[in-house]
Structure 1
Amino acid sequence: MSKLPIDVPKEKLQQVRMDMFRKVQREKRAKKRIVSVAIASLFCLSLLFSIRVSPTIAGHVAKIPGFQAIVSAVVRDKGIKDIVDNEYYEEINVTQTKNGLSLTLQGVIADTSGFVLYYDADASFDISKLNLEEVQLFQGDEKIKGGGSFTSNQSHQTHIFSSVEYGFSEPFAYTSKDFKVVFRFYEKDMGNIEITIPFSLQNEIAKEKTITANRTVDVDGQKFTITKIRRSPLKTALDIEVDEANTMQILSLDDIAVETENGERREGIKYAMAMGRNMHDGKFTLYLQSNYFHDSDSLKILIGAVHAVPKGEDFIEVDFGTKEVLTKPDYLDWDISVTQQSVSVAAKKWDDRRRHTFLNSAVKADGTTLKYTGGSFSDDDQYLFATENFENYDGKAKIYLSYYFNPIGKNIELNIPLK
């Protein structure tokens, strides 16, 4: 089998080599250790430009401390690869140490739709028992609302490399380029460890590109309209409105993607098809990998399947006080159990699809929102499992379905002009 050719941007690599040469000459009189670190860093950055077509190179680079998180992101998301290629990724490389824990903020990506921080950490103690409890991001002295999404430490891990992601349902205003991020960890023997890292952005924040689409899709009499396509470096957002006259509640659009004129496909971002607004209110937003840095006259939107259930039969009712399922639709064939502030679901697999969140929007008996705090997901050969967690509450709640496999339409294509 012949090897895939590696796409090497020669001019960019030549510039990297020249910059590296100048840096080495400039620092030659300084400590040799600093020079070696600079060489390694520049070498790794140059390799980032070729990892899209060379997974082998990506695998090697990912083993170098400080680059695992961004390399992992580039490999799984073509939009992040574009960000690195177009030098929109900002290297921070600031380290703070406290109570034996050393954390380095390696870099950030910031635009009007979101904020991603890439970091790694080492410790003088057993880091496998360290747990990340909370991350707070501040612009100036003002805390950015909405918690960042992050992954807790995995067992048996000896080195942490990960990211924290913020998504904004409305374009974020960069009133200042000065930020700080606060990481709060907990370890049984060490207790609470808080590390604060201030940093400043250097790039001009890319402006969102918005196209008014207003394309209505009719699937077996059930209609929804793609009103806008909003593109930023981190993601492409599709704003969608559902027809009030529908007799079915649309729950999900499966396998959604955009395709450019040259046939390049950008997939939905896994676990980021989160609704910018409540889908049950008739408006929601789906997020896909970005093609922000590519100019084209049109986009093709691809929808693998539309899933819907009868209107008014799109929720279950539970009592967190008695830990009971009070009501559920007749068609719902899931095994459901209620525990303290959690609802667990076991759904028989319909095919080899990925894991799903099934229930994540809820209201209390008094009509106020019951906050969703996250979930855990797994599967085996026969079932998909999900445990959805909610804020502390011991009363009755109505919890809406966010997914049920019931396709009413498949393989939909829409051509959207961009100019």
Structure 2
Amino acid sequence: MFEREEQQLAAYRKEIEKIHLPLDGADDAIASGIQKAKKEQKKRVLAKRSFWSLATAAIALIVLVSTIRASPAFAQTVSEIPGIAGLVEMIRNDKGLASLIENDYYQEIEASQTVDGLTLAIKGAILDESGMNIYYKISSVEPLEGLALGKTEIENKMPIPPSSISMGAGEAVGSEYSDYVAFHFEEPIRFEELDFTFKLDVGVEGKSVQFAVPFKLGENVQHGQKFVLNENVEIEAQKMTIHEVTIHPLRTEVLISFDPANSKKILHFEDLRLEDENGEIWGTARNGRSSHGEPGEKMVYYLQSNYFKKPEELHLRFNELQAVDNGEASLLVDMEKQQLLQSPGDGQLKLAEADKNTIRFVLNGLPEKEFNYGLISEIVDADGKKIHVSSESMAFKENNDREWLIELENVQYKNPIKMKLFAYPSYIKGEADIELER
């Protein structure tokens, strides 16, 4: 009866997982395992027995990681064990992060602060030159009702490059909330000192708390592996240059620029990936944002990392891209007259309704494939004034249609407004294969 709805929800979840890795409880699973090993070690009298106990636990974890990735049935079984579910989801959804766990790159932290009955505890972190993931828990003596997360940042004695931030999709359960924050540095950095402060504004039932939790990491980062390519690629007469690929422990960065003379604007790579000689693939990053830059000009795309793998061959490949004609890369909307003045020429996108601060689009005739993206990247009015988006939500409709509801900030602006497309189901196809020489 609800098969179609379930399929749609499953497809939507897959796309969400490309953006936010569900790590709920993973920090506790990791920290619990490490803490258990430490307690076990203290109980042993003979150092030799302690060593083999810890070695056995490490081997068991590696076997667990490998088995989860190889066997969905086994993953389903162990995910029902309390404290393991979060770790299973992390390993299943991002092999780069699974590799970090296998190679002991996750650093356990025990740092906390309590303010007005709320406690923020940092459980662990992953740091490299491209960014930092912080795993934390918020707890209270009372149920966490109306929890709202606000501004967050990290501080160090060194200036931190501009960063984009993505957060997980944690959910409050009773009086506890576990989640993570991923900071993506726009420039590589290697910190001289590993003393940091994690700041997070938290609201609960109208009460606002500003946390500032100092913590220290025990190990510095490993350098990224950079491959300078400067390879020119052409797909359906659209030209681009693959400048370089840098593989960090957390993620892989691919720097690509596009020929200004192109007739189309490239919006997304559908299948940008690293692939080894055995066909193993590291695809779009699932632990934060998937790209950075100006679509159609110069972009950094983020892939899962194979930093700890040593394949005999490694290729950067892609075959399908979202692309629209340059003159159709933006929507032009008269909000007062509720008219869509400019849109892609295929006629699939319709303006359903509009008022001063709300606009609703419907996209018809989608192909039978996943298309679960935000629609808009930037909005300006007729005078070039930027209008911020308060929220954008997408809904699945019948016949594979999509609907987007976009709410604008409450400001004065001049009609018509111009909305840059973030994604659109218009594709070009070809074959690009670039080998990364080690």
Q: Which residue of 2 aligns with 1:6?
A: none
Q: Which residue of 2 aligns with 1:385?
A: 403
- Check the 8 A contact 1:136/1:181 in 2, yes or no: yes
1:222 pairs, out of 217, 238, 255, with 238
Aligned-residue CA RMSD (Å): 3.4
Give TM-score scaled by structure 2 length.
0.76
1:267 pairs, out of 254, 263, 283, with 283
Q: Give distance in 2, aligned partners of 1:235 and 1:373.
A: 29
Q: Give distance in 1, aligned partners of 2:301 and 2:310.
A: 21
- Check the 8 A contact 2:112/2:122 in 1, yes or no: yes
Q: Give distance in 2, aligned partners of 1:133 and 1:323.
A: 36
Q: Give distance in 2, aligned partners of 1:213 and 1:141.
A: 31
Deviations 1:165-203 (A, max 9, x none): 1112221342431111122111225x1122221111221
Unaligned runs of 5+ in 1: 1-14, 27-38
Q: Which residue of 1 aligns with 2:421?
A: 401
Q: Give distance in 1, aligned partners of 2:421 and 2:363.
A: 13
Give TM-score scaled by structure 1 length.
0.79
- Check the 8 A contact 1:360/1:372 in 2, yes or no: no
Amino acid of the structure 2 residue aligned with 1:403: A
User: 1:79, CA displacement in angstroms?
Assistant: 0.5
Aligned partner of residue 79 in structure 1, secondary structure: helix
Cα distance change, pair 312–95 in 1 and its aligned pair in 2 (3 A): same
User: 1:295, CA displacement in angstroms?
Assistant: 2.2
1:23 aligns with 2:42: yes
User: 1:235, CA displacement in angstroms?
Assistant: 0.8
Q: Give distance in 2, aligned partners of 1:127 and 1:44.
A: 36
Deviations 1:16-42 (A, max 9, x none): 99855432359xxxxxxxxxxxx9xx9
Q: Which residue of 1 aligns with 2:195?
A: 178
User: 1:389, CA displacement in angstroms?
Assistant: 5.9
Aligned partner of residue 423 in structure 2, secondary structure: coil
Q: Which residue of 1 aligns with 2:149?
A: 132
Q: Which residue of 1 aligns with 2:109?
A: 92
Which of 227-236 and 352-361 deviates more?
352-361
2:132 pairs, out of 104, 108, 115, with 115
Q: Give distance in 2, aligned partners of 1:327 and 1:371.
A: 21
Q: Give distance in 2, aligned partners of 1:388 and 1:409.
A: 30
1:252 aligns with 2:268: yes
Which of 270-279 and 401-410 deviates more?
270-279
Aligned partner of residue 91 in structure 2, secondary structure: helix
Unaligned runs of 5+ in 2: 1-33, 46-52, 69-74
Q: Give distance in 2, aligned partners of 1:195 and 1:17.
A: 29
1:103 pairs, out of 106, 117, 120, with 120
Q: Give distance in 2, aligned partners of 1:260 and 1:238.
A: 16
1:286 aligns with 2:301: yes
- Check the 8 A contact 1:222/1:246 in 2, yes or no: yes
- Check the 8 A contact 1:128/1:156 in 2, yes or no: no
Q: Give distance in 2, aligned partners of 1:257 and 1:234.
A: 15
- Check the 8 A contact 1:360/1:388 in 2, yes or no: no
| Equivalenced residues, count | 384
Greater share of residues in helix: 2
Q: Which residue of 1 aligns with 2:437?
A: 418
- Check the 8 A contact 2:340/2:350 in 1, yes or no: no
- Check the 8 A contact 1:131/1:152 in 2, yes or no: no
Q: Give distance in 1, aligned partners of 2:59 and 2:379.
A: 44
Q: Give distance in 2, aligned partners of 1:226 and 1:140.
A: 35
